[in-house]
Amino acid sequence: MLTASEGINSLKAPFVGLIEVYKTIMIFVDEVTIDVKAGTGGNGAVAFRKEKYVPHGGPAGGDGGKGGDVILLADSNLSTLLDFRFQRLYAAEKGVDGASKDMYGKAAKDLILKVPIGTVATDLDTGRVVADLTTHAQEKIIAHGGRGGKGNAHFASSTHQAPRYAENGEPGHSLSVKLELKLLADVGLIGYPNVGKSSLIAAVSAAKPKVANYPFTTLIPNLGVVKVDDDPTHTFVMADIPGLIEGASEGIGLGIQFLRHVERTRLLVHILDIGGQTGRDPLEDYRLINIELANYSQKLADLPQLIALNKIDIAEEDLITLYTEHFDELGLATYPISAATGEGTKPLLFAISTRLQEIPRHVPASDEVTYINTRNTASGLRQSRRGRDWVIAKGEAEDEYVVSGASIERLVAMTPMENEHAVTRLQRILERNGVVTKLKALGAKDGDSVRIGSIAFDYIDEDFEEDDDL
């Protein structure tokens, strides 16, 4: 039975532990979701060379400047994504509007977001990796600023010498991105809690992780540089992560949020405690942890593994032989070691270094991704080879139609609606591209509402009007 004071102490210990976990997780933020918005382009200007609205003076409205991009920049001075916890939206500035006398608006400054090396950014809508930064000072545009609207000087032609419209700036690209910090180590140490992972990294590198005789001592990953010999190409980075237990892939223990850190290693060292002091079966631990790896991702399960049988300084001789033979039969290279005394660690390190030289390095995912930026053509709408790139659907209300498509929505967003000449031009482009005919075919009636992007228009049936005039 517990005495009163023992009872309090045994309650206090896990409580203190929880606060520790909480504090550590607060410091080591390795996943955040943010919204980024690149700057809208500056508006094009409507201006004439000599006097306003004297057509023969010639149009002289300058273009707007480009909106700012949102850029991720890898910085080796940062180690967490913590700063992003306190702000959700990051928006770059709008380009400066064009002015008269053909003056271009200035491009806006880009918004640069510094992130730690190893940050991977994923577009939450498409699931595509938009940045994967692996070296200091590497940068990647994740949201492109809109181009500046064209000033009226651009729209002059032989038949239309005095255009009184200009474009508004193109809206900047916006997206929600998940930022994840994935450590870039060559080899990852995995194993049940308390098997001696931190002891090993402490023994073979300059890393100074906490080592203690209870599970979940390690709360955040530790990295250590391991120098095997004088050849710098043999040197590698080792990651020690918190211990894994059954259910780790579903979030039990601390495992899941750290598995991503070993996902990008090239090799795993699976550490088993054969010291015989815990009452656990190392083979069962080995089996359970491999199931967790496979449940987390096939990629993790497919990583090559070396086996390190730890604590041989206190293990029974015949158990060392038994386990070594067991894994040898499975075709797994097995190394009996003692992280405490250093015995056997040299052959393990050489084996790691040799294996790493056979395994190619991580290829940053975003190198394979090209950003596809659609641009309006002179006639206003981009026509894909497969035909038009817009669709019309019935809206929620009975008399409402919704026209959607990236380039048509951009065209509308870039039309200054307060400028009747610009609206007339928009009308013409919509007619020329078949939007009006299609609306009519779908049964649009005079007075119905047509929504394109964020703007609602009234549908005016010209035949109907003509009839009215009769």
Binding range to ligand GTP, per CB under 6 A, among 56-64, 136-144, 310-318, 359-367: 310-318
Q: Which partner, ligand GTP, Mg ion, none, binds residue 100 by CB below 5 to 8 Å per kind?
A: none
> In angstroms, what is the minimal distance from the CB of 283 to Mg ion?
21
For residues 322 to 341, the per-residue mask of contacts with ligand GTP, x marking binding by CB under 6 A and - elsewhere, is ----------------xxx-
Q: How many CA atoms lie within 13 A of 400 on its CB side?
A: 9
Largest CA distance in the chain: 108
Give dist(CA 389, CA 375) in Å, integer: 12
376 lies in the binding site for Mg ion (CB under 5 A): no
**Could you say which residues in the range 83-122 bind ligand GTP, by CB under 6 A?**
none
Interface pick for ligand GTP out of 3, 77, 158, 213 (rule CB under 6 A): 213
Neighbours of 453 (CB within 10 A): 17
**Measured at CB, which residue is nearest to ligand GTP?**
243
Give dist(CA 96, CA 107) in Å, integer: 6
The number of angstroms, rounded, from the C-alpha of 102 to the middle of its chain's C-alpha atoms is 40
CB nearer ligand GTP, residue 119 or residue 199: 199
> In angstroms, what is the minimal distance from the CB of 295 to Mg ion?
22
**Could you say which residues in the range 274-303 bind ligand GTP, by CB under 6 A?**
275
Q: Which partner, Mg ion, ligand GTP, none, binds residue 407 by CB below 5 to 8 Å per kind?
A: none
Closest to 243 (Cα-Cα) out of 225, 267, 222:
222
**Could you say which residues in the range 389-408 bind ligand GTP, by CB under 6 A?**
none
Q: Which partner, Mg ion, ligand GTP, none, binds residue 31 by CB below 5 to 8 Å per kind?
A: none
Write the DSSP string, 377-420.
-TTSSPPBTTB---EEEE-SSTTEEEEE-HHHHHHHHTS-TT-H
Q: Give the angle 434-438-440 at the CA atoms, nearest 5°.
A: 120
> In angstroms, what is the minimal distance from the CB of 279 to ligand GTP?
14
> In angstroms, what is the minimal distance from the CB of 339 to ligand GTP?
4
CB nearer Mg ion, residue 70 or residue 189: 189
> In angstroms, what is the minimal distance from the CB of 332 to Mg ion?
23
Q: How many residues bind Mg ion (CB under 5 A)?
A: 4
Neighbours of 129 (CB within 10 A): 19
Contacts of 66 (CB under 8 A, 6+ apart): 39, 41, 42, 95, 107, 108, 145, 146, 147, 148
CB nearer Mg ion, residue 121 or residue 348: 348
CB nearer ligand GTP, residue 18 or residue 456: 18
CB nearer Mg ion, residue 43 or residue 218: 218
Query: Residues 261, 186: contact at Cβ < 8 Å?
Result: no
For residues 144 to 183, the per-residue mask of contacts with Mg ion, x marking binding by CB under 5 A and - elsewhere, is ----------------------------------------
User: Tokens representing 289?
Assistant: 């942890």
310 lies in the binding site for ligand GTP (CB under 6 A): yes
> In angstroms, what is the minimal distance from the CB of 262 to ligand GTP?
13
> In angstroms, what is the minimal distance from the CB of 275 to ligand GTP?
6
The answer for 94, left when phi > 0, alpha when psi is -120 to 50, beta otherwise, is: beta
> In angstroms, what is the minimal distance from the CB of 242 to ligand GTP?
6
415 lies in the binding site for Mg ion (CB under 5 A): no
Strands in 70-74's sheet, in edge-to-edge order, are 111-115, 70-74, 139-143
Query: Residues 191, 271: contact at Cβ < 8 Å?
Result: yes
Query: Residues 150, 46: contact at Cβ < 8 Å?
Result: no
**Could you say which residues in the range 148-207 bind ligand GTP, by CB under 6 A?**
191, 193-199
CB nearer ligand GTP, residue 337 or residue 413: 337
**Could you say which residues in the range 237-256 bind ligand GTP, by CB under 6 A?**
242-243
**Could you say which residues in the range 187-226 bind Mg ion, by CB under 5 A?**
197-198, 217-218
> In angstroms, what is the minimal distance from the CB of 350 to ligand GTP?
19
Burial 367-378 (b: 16+ CB within 10 A, else e): eeeeeeeeebee
The number of angstroms, rounded, from the C-alpha of 305 to the middle of its chain's C-alpha atoms is 28
> What are the distances in angstroms from CA 270 to CA 80, 197, 318, 332, 347?
26, 9, 21, 11, 15
Interface pick for ligand GTP out of 21, 82, 314, 423 (rule CB under 6 A): 314
Residue that has been written with the tokens 């293990």 in this structure: 315
Q: How many residues bind ligand GTP (CB under 6 A)?
A: 25
Give dist(CA 286, CA 284) in Å, integer: 5
Give dist(CA 79, CA 116) in Å, integer: 5
Query: Which residues make up the interface to ligand GTP (CB under 6 A)?
Result: 191, 193-199, 211-213, 215-218, 242-243, 275, 310-311, 313-314, 338-340
